């Protein structure tokens, strides 16, 4: 699920305002966008990219690995199924507020065809120095710089803040994985953690979590087996129980998904949990230095 410059990208909804803007930014920093989809403009070329009536038609002419969706909620299910059935290996679903039954249908299709879903309601993927897919400011070198720290976040804005703080501290990133904020996402925090743990370019990992659900607790179980240092920030420490805060998945019922539960699980697994994002660079440097010392 880590974006690489060798990946070929399809943009569904490329001719819209957001599709156009972000496609231009993606291409400017190296992303290989090979085709777009808009049934009403099939056969045309838009911002230098051929446009097709469907993902399946695009795959026949311009084979792609990743599809990214700039598609309204009511049309998201059909667009995702089109890309999945065309043979996309990964679908980056930026759309939020997709009806729950449609999301379930998307996941069912992805499981059937062996496709990876990132999202819904994701900000996308960034690999500094190679490109990005989605709506993260991967083109902004003040925020993203190549390095060896992987970053995982449900939130695009919090993920951006963390990467900005890292870059300002002189710490580059190996990859940013935005997993999405909806309750039914296709890639979990643990999935992303495992992917970065397998990545030879990643030396340490920053995990940006939120209250609600059990993804951080599940990720903690895997973090306990890791050699790479992990630093985490959990948003929502002051949120009242039973009240939905921010993302659709950020709701706490009793002790399940609470800040205390997540922090306790992560710390028991050897993860350093900070109180504020600004602490991450200092704590990360300390953990990485300790790792080097232990190896000597």
Confidence check: pLDDT of 148 > 90: yes
Confidence check: pLDDT of 256 > 80: no
In the residue annotation, 247 being an active-site residue is answered as: yes
Confidence check: pLDDT of 254 > 90: no
pLDDT band at 236 (very low <50, low <70, confident <90, very high): confident
Q: 46, 97, 113, 247: which is the annotated catalytic residue?
A: 247
Structure tokens at 242: 């039973």
Structure tokens at 166: 């890292």
SS3 42: coil
Confidence check: pLDDT of 146 > 60: yes
Cα(239)–Cα(53) distance, integer angstroms: 46
Average pLDDT score, the chain: 94
Cα(91)–Cα(71) distance, integer angstroms: 12
User: Reading across the β-sheet that carries 204-210, which strands appear in turn?
Assistant: 131-134, 124-127, 173-178, 146-153, 204-210, 230-235, 272-274
pLDDT band at 158 (very low <50, low <70, confident <90, very high): very high
pLDDT band at 138 (very low <50, low <70, confident <90, very high): very high
pLDDT band at 134 (very low <50, low <70, confident <90, very high): very high
Q: In this predicted structure, what is the pLDDT of residue 292? A: 80
Cα(168)–Cα(72) distance, integer angstroms: 36
Q: What does DSSP say about strands 8-12 and 66-69: parallel, antiparallel, or unpaired?
A: parallel
pLDDT per residue as tens digits for the range 162-220: 999 999 999 999 999 999 999 899 999 999 999 999 999 999 999 999 998 899 999 99
Residues 6+ apart with CB under 8 A from 101: none
Q: In this predicted structure, what is the pLDDT of residue 295? A: 75
What is this structure's pTM?
0.94
CATH hierarchy code of domain 8-118: 3.40.50.720
Confidence check: pLDDT of 88 > 60: yes
pLDDT band at 250 (very low <50, low <70, confident <90, very high): low
pLDDT per residue as tens digits for the range 36-73: 999 999 999 999 999 999 999 999 999 999 999 999 99
Q: In this predicted structure, what is the pLDDT of residue 291? A: 83
Fold of 140-295: Rossmann fold (3.40.50)
pLDDT band at 293 (very low <50, low <70, confident <90, very high): confident
Average pLDDT over residues 95-111: 97
Confidence check: pLDDT of 237 > 90: no
Cα(220)–Cα(264) distance, integer angstroms: 9
Residue that has been written with the tokens 């997709």 in this structure: 98
Average pLDDT over residues 111-116: 98
What are the C-alpha distances in Å from 54 to residues 108, 116, 173?
20, 19, 35
Same fold, 8-118 and 140-295: yes
Q: 245 versus 130: which is more confidently predicted?
A: 130
Per domain, the residue ranges of the chain are: 8-118, 140-295
Confidence check: pLDDT of 248 > 80: no
Beta bridge partner(s), residue 152: 177, 207
pLDDT band at 238 (very low <50, low <70, confident <90, very high): low
Radius of gyration of the chain (CA): 19
């Amino acid at each position: 699920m880590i974006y690489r410059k060798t990946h070929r990208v399809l943009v569904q909804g490329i001719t819209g305002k957001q599709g156009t803007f972000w496609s231009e930014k993606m291409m400017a920093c190296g992303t290989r966008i090979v085709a777009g989809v808009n049934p009403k403009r099939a056969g045309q070329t838009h911002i230098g990219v051929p446009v097709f009536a469907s993902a399946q038609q695009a795959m026949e002419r311009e084979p792609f690995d990743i599809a990214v969706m700039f598609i309204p909620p009511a049309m998201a299910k059909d667009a995702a199924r089109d890309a999945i059935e065309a043979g996309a290996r990964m679908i980056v679903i930026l759309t939020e507020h997709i009806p729950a039954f449609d999301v379930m249908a998307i996941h069912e299709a992805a499981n059937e065809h062996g496709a990876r879903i990132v999202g819904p309601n994701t900000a996308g993927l960034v690999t500094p120095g190679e490109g990005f897919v989605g709506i993260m400011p991967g083109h902004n070198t003040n925020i993203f710089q190549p390095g060896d720290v992987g970053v995982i976040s449900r939130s695009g804005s919090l993920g951006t803040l963390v990467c900005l703080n890292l870059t300002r501290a002189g710490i580059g990133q190996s990859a940013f994985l935005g997993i999405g904020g909806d309750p039914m996402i296709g890639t979990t925090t643990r999935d992303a953690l495992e992917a970065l743990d397998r990545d030879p370019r990643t030396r340490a990992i920053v995990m940006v979590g939120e209250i609600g659900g059990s993804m951080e607790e599940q990720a903690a179980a895997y973090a306990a087996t890791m050699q790479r240092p992990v630093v985490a920030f959990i948003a929502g420490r002051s949120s009242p129980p039973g009240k939905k805060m921010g993302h659709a998945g950020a709701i706490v019922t009793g002790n399940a998904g609470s800040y205390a539960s997540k922090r306790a699980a992560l710390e028991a697994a050897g993860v350093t949990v900070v109180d504020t994002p600004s602490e991450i660079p200092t704590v990360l440097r300390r953990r990485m230095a300790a790792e080097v010392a232990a190896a000597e």
